[in-house]
Amino acid sequence: MVAHDHLIFNIVFSMTTRILLSKFCFILCLYSGFGFAQSLVSINLDSVTICPITSQSSVMPSFSEAECKTAHASQIDPQNKALWVKTTVNVAEDMLKDKQPHSVYLSGKAASKVYFNGHYIGSNGSPNAIPNLEQVGKIDAMFYVPAKLIKPNSNEIIIEMSSHHGFLSLNSPLNFIGFGIYSAPTYFIQRNLGVSIVPLGALLLGAIYFLVASFNPRKRANSLLFLLMTSFASLQLFAEISRALYSYPYPFQDVRLLLIVSLSFLFGMCLLSFVVLKLKKSKPYWWILTGGFLTLLIVWLIPGFDPKTALAIFVPSVISATLLTMQAIRTKSKEWALYALLFVLFSFTIVLTLTTFHDALFYYIISAVLIVLFILQARKLNQEQKDKEAEQALVAKLQFKLEQNQQKTEPSSIKINSAGKIEIITSDHIVFCKAAGDYVEMNLKNHQQRLFTGSLKELESTLPNTFLRVHRSYLVNVEFIHSLTTTSLKQAKTSAAGFLQLHDAMEVPVSRRIMPTVRNFIKQN
């Protein structure tokens, strides 16, 4: 079982490690943002004019009305209202020389109509000041811009937008407004899809392994927790990349964000449960429920779904790090110190990467943490298995000594039917037994023989453990073993791996399969 577990662990660990390392340089390239910047440019964020729409009329304003204001692009919020937005985008001459089709790219929670340099170029849904009249748009949309409308340098973009069909109020309902090469709405999100697919594969591979491992009763509790953690992280990652796979209606964004935070919270609770159960705390459910309540409270109070996602794991991680550090200090154990260091580093990493923790980086960190936890847990289980085997060997040795002493003081007896009478033979008089068809030939120390009616296996079950099977046809009383030789003193040709020299020049063969067991037994005794 230990060898089998080692094999599976090595396969999973090596595959996961290779997958993660093979993409490391790729991740750095993607996160540099170089390629992205070459094909997509943002609007001028510092100069955006916003005008509220107070009636059903869709007439474009002059943007000089009293209710209009100039603000930063982050102030654009069409949630539960309708707006007109005017901004500009600078198009470099180099971008126009490539002769590729271009478009306005709008990513966010809104229905919209877009005008480029005074010309209507398309709509995403149908915005309206009246909620019931709004037609829901997609979360990401591209609006083709005819080449004749594009001017070098400054270009005007006017957008009519509304967002009445969400049930969450987000701090940043719009993610991006810009200009770039025309493509599918999800193209610019898919550019980073490869980075996220790598940890998804690693997490799914881990989930499959822990699902199989959970069928082992000895490792079921920890395997189930690891299965839940890898499953929650996989589902959370899939929820993250779903936007790159499909441009869904914008109200689904609220569902997606809640799902991501919920899965992050469940992962954090599994992490805390793992630590509490490993520490064998009294009233473990009290610790888990208290940690869960504290996490929910903090997540509820902190605004923004990106911080919520990070804190849903950060709080359980800090609690775990605190408990493990206290345990390491109290016990002065290297094992607990390793666990404490892991969770301290994990918590510290969350703080350092708070703004990008929910992105692909999160899943690489999670994969790394789970791999380290898996290694530490596997080492612990293997050591426990070795200790258990050593204890079993010691118990078997003590049992053997007890049966040796019992054979000397109160030997077991066997009843033999011979010539119409019943003869009782004690085990301390039997040197070895040899299978002979439907009978077993018992060789006694006085060189006499008796026949036992039955198989060698049946006889073996009635004799004490001081009798050792050395061949499929031979059973030997270890009290009469003198030595083990590789050649026979009586036979010139034989296929046996060795021979046991017994009492008064008696000899029995040892099979190749059982030879290591016999040799080990003689060394120990």
DSSP code string of 320-366: HHHHHHHHHHHH--HHHHHHHHHHHHHHHHHHHTTTTTTSHHHHHHH
Which pLDDT score, from 0 to 100, does residue 300 have? Answer: 94
Q: Is residue 399 part of a domain?
A: no
My answer on whether 220 and 159 are in the same domain is: no
User: Which of 170, 189, 208 is the last residue before a domain boundary?
Assistant: 189
Which pLDDT score, from 0 to 100, does residue 360 have? Answer: 67
Tell me the CA distances in angstroms from 504 to 87, 225, 408, 474, 482, one per residue in order.
Answer: 109, 62, 19, 17, 10
User: Which of 139, 156, 189 is the last residue before a domain boundary?
Assistant: 189
At 392, is the secondary structure helix, strand, or coil? helix
My answer on whether 197 and 185 are in the same domain is: no
Which residue range(s) make up the domain with 218? 2-33+193-385
Radius of gyration over every alpha carbon of the chain, rounded to an integer in angstroms: 38
My answer on whether 9 and 44 are in the same domain is: no
Q: Is residue 392 part of a domain?
A: no
Cα separation of the two ends of the chain: 27
Q: Is residue 134 part of a domain?
A: yes
My answer on whether 48 and 26 are in the same domain is: no
Q: Is residue 398 part of a domain?
A: no
Give the chain's length.
525
Q: What is the pTM of this model?
A: 0.68
Which pLDDT score, from 0 to 100, does residue 395 have? Answer: 58
At 261, is the secondary structure helix, strand, or coil? helix
Instruction: Tell me the per-residue pLDDT of 254-293, one tens digit each, with 9 for 90 and over.
Output: 999 999 999 999 999 999 999 999 898 888 899 999 999 9
My answer on whether 164 and 26 are in the same domain is: no
Give the domain CATH number at 158. 2.60.120.260
My answer on whether 236 and 353 are in the same domain is: yes
My answer on whether 381 and 477 are in the same domain is: no
Helices and strands, number each (H, E), in the chain: 14, 20
Q: Is residue 395 part of a domain?
A: no
Instruction: To the nearest 10°, report the CA torsion of 349, 354, 356, 357.
Output: 60
My answer on whether 293 and 357 are in the same domain is: yes
Cα gap 427→487, rounded to integer Å: 28
My answer on whether 69 and 138 are in the same domain is: yes
Q: Is residue 15 part of a domain?
A: yes
**Contact predicate 70/47, CB 8 Å:** yes
My answer on whether 274 and 139 are in the same domain is: no
My answer on whether 379 and 234 are in the same domain is: yes
- Closest among 503, 476, 499, 474 to 488, alpha carbons compared: 499
Q: Is residue 407 part of a domain?
A: no
**Contact predicate 272/347, CB 8 Å:** no
Tell me the CA distances in angstroms from 204 to 176, 223, 233, 245, one per residue in order.
Answer: 31, 14, 9, 18
Give the domain CATH number at 496. 2.40.50.1020
Q: Is residue 367 part of a domain?
A: yes
User: Which of 158, 189, 220 is the last residue before a domain boundary?
Assistant: 189
Cα gap 227→476, rounded to integer Å: 50
Residue numbers of the chain with a pLDDT score lower than 70: 1-38, 56, 188-194, 218-219, 355-360, 389-409, 418-420, 492-495, 525
- Count of domains observed in the chain: 3
Which pLDDT score, from 0 to 100, does residue 428 have? Answer: 86
For strands 483-485 and 498-501, give the pairing: antiparallel
| Torsion sign over Cα 221, 224, 230, 233 | negative
My answer on whether 221 and 72 are in the same domain is: no
